[in-house]
Every structure is written in structure tokens, then in C-alpha cells.
Chain A
Amino acid sequence: MGCTAADVVAALRAAAAVVQEHRDELVRLDQAIGDADHGENMKRGFTALLSRLDAEPPDTPGKVLKLVATTLISTVGGAAGPLYGTAFLRASAAVGDAAELDPAAVARALQGALDGVVARGKAAVGDKTMVDALTPAVAAAEGVNGSVAAALSAAADAAEEGAASTVPMVARKGRASYLGERSAGHLDPGARSTALLLRAFADAAARA
């Protein structure tokens, strides 16, 4: 059993709710080592996404992901707008115009998202960025033979561990890098939001 456009829309609605709920947490994390806008920017982007999904829900998973990309690029700003926008754009390209996504397609979408983030942001594992959450998530999803829910659940687990691994790191990309050694001891807000989104997608898939 695959994942339809309606399932993807439901997952994004769940993600929007999670972003709203964790807005203050993301602001606090970013305040410590960045410029305190990540939570507000993500909230603005996902709020705009909800109204676009209400107005005109696309009819394939790939088109839904593309709508996410264009919405986040035009509403989020900061580094997160182009980075998440590019991630969803590459994920959309990776799944093409299939009507349903199987676990392999979900893994391809995650791989596409990671490739997009790396191409745009030029960060590597260990730089204290969202790449530290997304890289292990892709590997975990690829290793799952089963349902979409199982693949996303494995990805979310790995992303949470990956995000936690950013705490002792010294940032080498983004605004946190200006702090040098003082950036160590803090959870990276981008890695945290990546883990939150994947957990929201996994929970939605488990309910579907």
C-alpha cells in the first residue's frame, strides 16, 4: 500500500501543526547560537502552505511536494527558505508523477532532499546543520523493507539521533559559525526542525 497525494497533504498538515507547536522552542535554540528567527520563519512558511493546500490541493505526491517547495522559498526567508525549498523541490523531482509512493520512492525523495540541501548549502556531516539530521535519516529509510510508515519512522529515529549529535559540535556553516567554540553545547535549530518534520511525517503515515 502506497502513499497518495491526500496522504502527503495530511502529513504536511501534521507537520504544520508541529512547527506551530515548536515555534518557541526553535526560536530559543536559534537565539542561543543564531539570530532567533528560525521558529518564526518556519511558522510563517507552513502557515502559508496550509492556506495554499486549502485553496488548491495538488493531485499527485510530486506536485504536492513542489507546492511545498515554492511556498517555502517565497515565504520563509533566512537560510531555511532556500534550503528547505530546494529539499522539497528535489524530493518532488525524485518521485516524478507517480500517483502513489512506495517505501523505495520515499527513500528516493529523502535522498533527493539531502542532495538538494548539500548542493545549495555546501555543508557536510559534522558542520552542525540540518545535514547532520537528514544524512542518517536517508540511510535509515533506505535500509527498511516494509511500509512507508516503517521507512519514515526509521528516518525520524535516525534524524532525532543525528540532531542530538549536533550538541557538542562547533558550527562550521551558517550564522552559528561566527561564534566559533562558543557554538558547542547547543542543539542546532535546523537539525532540530528537520527531525521534527520527519517525526510528523512518520506519525501521519502510521495513522494513514
Chain B
Amino acid sequence: MKKIINDPETVVQDSLRGMQAAHSDLLTVHHDPAVVVRADAPVPGKVAIISGGGAGHEPLHGGFVGRGMLDAACPGAVFTSPTPDQVLDAVSKTDGGAGALLVVKNYTGDVLNFETAGELAESEVRSVVIDDDVAVKDSLYTAGRRGVGGTVLLEKIVGAAAERGDDLAACEALALRVIASVRSMGLALTSCTVPHVGSPSFELADDEMEVGIGIHGEPGRRKVAAGTASDMVSALLEPILEDLPFSSGDRVLLFTNSMGGTPLIELYLAHGIAEQLLADRGITVERRLVGPYITSLEMQGMSITLLKLDDEMVSLWDAPVHTPALRWGV
């Protein structure tokens, strides 16, 4: 294993120290328990939007802390959900009197830890669970669909609603509307290596891709020949389109995401193909996001997320945001 780290045991804390140094105007990093908090928190009268999850997906979630998005992020160890005391600390540091909305990605560990925190919190707390990954069959026989790329879009849109003064019930209702309207799928060209493990999370031959991966280096549903960029984009977009379903006349936000190791030259290439495929079907791409925003360490690969837009979502997407990873309108 070759990585820019000093010690696998302290990689998350060490990285958070650098993040604090880089963005002290936007956020404050607390250690023990680890919580990344918006610099001007608590904002009086504003609903606190709080998320969290294992480290290794940067910039998710700490990179989205700041005005117009998250009030706090709770980073766990690499690919490991945070603990309830982190979430409780985040709530107490950010609750401006209007309560807190917890944004939870659907993984057993995340759900259990946030659920435990919600039961222990003294503030008014609601939580929403996002499960946008169409690669997982949602049935009684699985833990349900995973929360992936849709999380970034949800945090931006609901963060903007909280910033304009929406109350907790309205923020929760909006979050549920986003969850009902967003679908994602990802693929990997290479595996990734978790620092405390030291070896790749799964095996993949040079000419293979793993379709339907999550964001934790867990294997996907099938290995296939890698093929061309057009094959790859189709392999992701077709199941997404069928699932919601998206159809001719729909207005969408297209989010083309790198899993960390795929360079922008390839990502833009894939994005262009996705735009064309959607245009061919009469689907209007009204907003876009392209880049590495929800990653899986150094994994090469990509995910595509489609959100069916309405006027309110468009205006909340366009609203000012000022965080380390997303910044516009300010």
C-alpha cells in the first residue's frame, strides 16, 4: 500500500486537521468526538441540517459544511458510520432553536447509530434516510437500497431551504420529496484500499468493470467486460431511467460523479454521452453537477445520479452556497 498518510490509525483525525487549516473561515473541526461544524453555528432560528458517515467519501460530508448546505458533519472512521455521541454533539452545537434534521444514508450501521442518537437527543430531531441506489434490489431480503449520489443533491437543496427559513417539518417534507425523485448507479474500474486494511477491497482484472458498486469498496452485482465509455454510461443510465421511471418531457438535474480516481477528462467525456442519451429520449437536463463529490477513496469509476426537478428544487439548487466543495452565488 502506497498512500500519503503517516499512520493508518490516525488518518481521519490527521486529515481533519488539514481541513481545518484550509477552511477555517467556513468551518470549525472539533475532535473527541469528531464533528465538523459551520463556523457561525448555531444560527438562531434556523433548522440545523446534519449529516455524517464514514470517512473516505470526501468531500462528502465535511466538504459540504457551510452557508446554504450542512450545519454539521460527523465523520466516522474510514467507511465506518459515526457513533451516536458524535451526532448528539453535532446537534447540541448547531441547534439554533428550530430543531435538527439528520440526513442518513441507508446503511445498517449509519441507520442504527443515527437512530440511537435521535432517541437520546434533547432537541427536536427528525431524520430522513436516503436510498437512491438502483443497483440494489429493494426487498424484504436485503438491507434495502444504499444511499449514494442523491445525498449530495439532497444536502444542497434542503440546506438552501433551511437557510431561507423553512421549519423542521417543511425541511423534512422537502427531503422526502427529493428522495422520492432521485436515482443513482455506479461502476468501478479499479478497487480501492482502505488504509487500516492495506490491500484492495475486491479483485478486478484489467479488462473488467464492476457494475452496481456502492461507495465503500463493496463489490457490485456483476463483473463485465469494461467496454467503451458509451457502454459504461448506458450500463448506468438505463437502469436509472427505468426505475423511477424518467420519461420524455421530464426536467432533470444530471450529476456525473467520479469515484475519486477517475480524472475529469474521462468524467466530462462520460457526462457528454449522458447528456446526449437523455436528449435523445426527450429528457431536459436543466442543471448539472460534474466532479468528484461522493467518492470511494482512490477508486477509478463513476456514478450517475438523476433528479427529477420541479420549480422549487431548481430555485433551491441555484440559491447561494458557500462550502469547501460547492460554492456559487456568493
Contacts and interface: CB of A to CB of B under 8 A. Distances in A.
Contacts of B219: 179, 182
B142 A78 contact: no
A79 B108 contact: yes
Interface in B125-178: 136-137, 140-143, 146
Contacts, number: 108
A178 B77 contact: no
Interface stretch (B210-218, B229-237, B264-272): B210-218
A177 B80 CA distance: 17
Given A27-B197, A82-B113, A173-B108, A35 B84 contact: no
A177 B84 contact: no
A77 interface: yes
Nearest to A172: B141
B116 interface: yes
B76 interface: yes
User: Chain B binding site: helix, strand, loop or mixed by DSSP?
Assistant: loop
A37 B79 contact: yes
Contacts of B216: 35, 175
Contacts of B107: 175
Nearest to A23: B196
A76 interface: yes
Contacts of B140: 172
Contacts of B78: 37
Contacts of B199: 31
A192 to B, nearest CB: 17
Interface pairs A-B: 7 shortest CB-CB: A82-B112, A177-B142, A79-B109, A78-B109, A79-B108, A35-B216, A77-B80
Interface of B: 33, 54, 76-85, 107-109, 112-113, 115-116, 136-137, 140-143, 146, 194, 196-197, 199, 201, 214, 216-219, 221
